[in-house]
Each structure stands twice: as C-alpha cells, then as structure tokens.
Amino acid sequence: MTREDSGRGDSTITARLSRGAILAPGICDALTASLATQAGAEALYLSGAAIAYTRLARPDVGLVSVSEVAEVIALIRDRVETPMIVDADTGYGNALNVQRTVRVFERAGANVIQLEDQTFPKRCGHLAEKRIVPAAEMVGKIRAAVDARHSQETLIIGRTDAAAIEGLEAAIARAHLYAEAGADILFVEAPKSAEQLKAIVDALGDVRPLLANMVEGGQTPLYSAAELGQQGFSIIIFPGGVVRAIARTAQDYYRSLIKTGSNAAFRDSMFDFDGLNDVIGTNALLALGKSYEDEDKSEVAETA
C-alpha cells in the first residue's frame, strides 16, 4: 500500500460532523499525518505555525508562503486520505489572493480551509500585539473564498482574532458577519475563560459549527475534546502539540547523544531500524514495486 486511508468511510468533514464533535490532531508533515491516521484520527489539522516551526525553525509570524504550505498539503495527501483542515492564515493578501490560495490548496488536497482576519504579516493567535483588518474587508475575503472553491464539500472556516483587540462581543459580531458571508465553520480565537467559551457557544452554536483551539501554555483554558464537544463545539484542534512533543524529545535525544556518544541511553525511547520501517510501510511499498516488476517480466515472456 502506498497510501493510508482513515478507514472511517467518510470522505468529507461535513459527513463526519453529522455524527458529533471531531478531534483533529495537529500535524506538520506526511510522517505525522500517517502516524495520526494510524492512531485513528478522523481528521487532521495542518497549521501554518507547525510548518514554520518545523521547516523554518521560526515562530508563527507570517514567514511561511502559500507555495510552501501547498507543497506540504500535497505531500501529506499523497500519503493519507484522512480529511484535512488547512490553516491558510490571512489568505496571503487581498480577496484575489484568497481566491488563488483556495484554488491552490483545494487542488493540493485540503478539505477545509481556514482564513483569519488579522493583518499581514500575522501572528500566532495566542501571541500579543495582534492586529486585525476591518470587518468589511474580511467579509469580502470570505465571499471570495466561497466563490473560488471548486467543490461545495470544501469548507471555509472564518476565524476572528478580534477578542484580544476589540473584546469578545466584537469578535462574536464579526463571526456572525462571516457566517452571513458564507463561512461554513466559525472560529473565535483565544477566549480566555470558561465563561468566554460558553458565551461563544451561546451566541454562535445555532449559527454554524464551532471550532475550539487547544494550545498548551496559550490563553485558552485546556479541556478535552469530549468536554468541549459537550459544551457545543464541533471541531477541536490541538494544532501544535505534536511539534512541542517532537521538539522536546529531539532536544533530549541530541543532548543524550552528545553527552554519551551513543544512542544506548535513549534506546527505549526510539524506534529501531525495523520498527520505523514497519511504521512507514517499507515492506508493503517494496512488495508493490516488485509486483510491477514481476508483471513486466510476465508480459515480456508472453510476447517473446
């Protein structure tokens, strides 16, 4: 097998949402997408932050380009079929740029595309000193995104960062406008308390499905996916957790290797050669390649 399927029978987020809240773990590349799928993930979340962290070793401050994200989407989609939510940041420009971004990401394999109302360059939603565009400008971007998508099954998330700048009421008002413009899912970023989470659900829960973002050390209180589902959120993302876990493990690994000159001390915390090959499907891929070679030999023999 060259590609891993989620095995859930739903090819779209829309179909899955009808059965209840979705936990979408964060991924950063094809390997983490494959591992998340093997673990049973029903949807995946690819954040711009995760790409900045892993490809650039830089913070989420607008350094990642549309083409870099599209390349990662395509590499992931070549490996797994699991529905994928993709962070498109600000759309990388104005409404026309948003349209191109949506077309490029959709062709690459994104099932859901998230757009936010920050200015460019943007910042991680849990960093200070964010700035936002006028609501009318973001409404135009949402409308442009909806017009640009090829399939109605490609969903658009309207995210607002206004809570940190204009207050929660203003953020909720913006979310209503984004829903009216055609956003399929709403995302009010960085609520600071259980009360604010409840206020978001009370105001918007009957308008569109809602997304909640869990960031370890961020501004929002941490809850489990089950708890947030019970509160009324439909999609719960843990976008950067895997990168934080990988970075911590890699830091410990390199320190151990440099200190001891060997991997012996770290042996129980890593795959060996065969173990990793099992995880990435080496034997299955080699067998697939051999099947084509054997078939070619048979065809040559028959025509000889």
Taking only the tens place, the pLDDT of each residue in 92-133 is: 999 999 999 999 999 999 999 999 999 987 877 676 778 999
Res 202 pLDDT > 70: yes
Report in angstroms the alpha-carbon separations of 281 from 6, 68, 128: 15, 26, 43
**pLDDT score of 207:** 97
pLDDT mean over 257-261: 97
Label residue 299 by pLDDT band (50, 70, 90): low
In the predicted structure, residue 191 carries a pLDDT above the cut 70: yes
Distance, CA of 111 to CA of 154 (rounded, Å): 5
44-46 and 185-188 strand pairing: unpaired
The partner residues of 25 in beta bridges, in order of sequence, read 238
User: Does residue 1 register a pLDDT over 60?
Assistant: no
Residues above pLDDT 90, as percent of the chain: 83
**Residue 235: in which H helix or E strand, if any?**
strand 235-238
* Listed residue (51, 178, 207, 200) closest to 117, CA to CA: 178
- Across 107-145, b (16+ Cβ under 10 Å) vs e yields ebbbbbbbbbbbeeebbbbbbeebebbebeebbbbbbbb
Q: What is the pLDDT of residue 126?
A: 74
> Which of the four pLDDT bands, split at 50, 70 and 90, describes residue 297?
low
What's CA 100's distance to the chain center, in Å?
19
- The stretches of the chain forming alpha helices (DSSP H) are 13-17, 30-38, 48-51, 66-79, 95-108, 135-148, 163-166, 168-181, 194-204, 225-231, 241-260, 273-280, 282-303
Burial track 186-218 (b if 16+ CB lie within 10 A, e otherwise): bbbbbbeeeebbebbbebbbeebbbbbbbbeeb
pLDDT surpasses 60 at 233: yes
Could you report the per-residue pLDDT of 14-64, keeping only the tens digit for each?
A: 888 888 899 999 999 999 999 999 999 999 999 999 999 999 999 988 899
Whole-angstrom CA distances from 282 to 3, 41, 273, 296 are 12, 22, 11, 22
Give the global pTM.
Answer: 0.92
Mean pLDDT computed over 191-202: 97
- Supply 202's token pair: 């009370």
CB 112 within 8 A of CB 13: yes
Instruction: Identify the CA nearest to 49 among candidates 26, 78, 23.
Output: 26
Instruction: Return mean pLDDT, the chain.
Output: 92
Q: What is the mean pLDDT of residues 241-263?
A: 97
Which range (19-28, 69-78, 130-139, 294-303) has the least confidence? 294-303
Note if the bond before 121 is cis, omega within 30 degrees.
Answer: yes
Residue 36 and residue 248: Cα distance in Å, rounded?
Answer: 18
pLDDT of amino acid 120: 82
Q: Are strands 22-27 and 44-46 parallel, antiparallel or unpaired?
A: parallel
Share of the chain above pLDDT 70, in %: 92
Give the DSSP letter of residue 112.
Answer: E
Owner of token pair 């809570």 = 163
**Rounded to an integer, what distance in angstroms lies between the CA atom of residue 91 and that of residue 210?**
20
Decide if 21 contacts 229 (C-beta within 8 A). yes
pLDDT of residue 124: 75
Q: Is the pLDDT of residue 143 over 50?
A: yes
Is beta strand 211-213 parallel, antiparallel or unpaired with respect to 155-160? unpaired
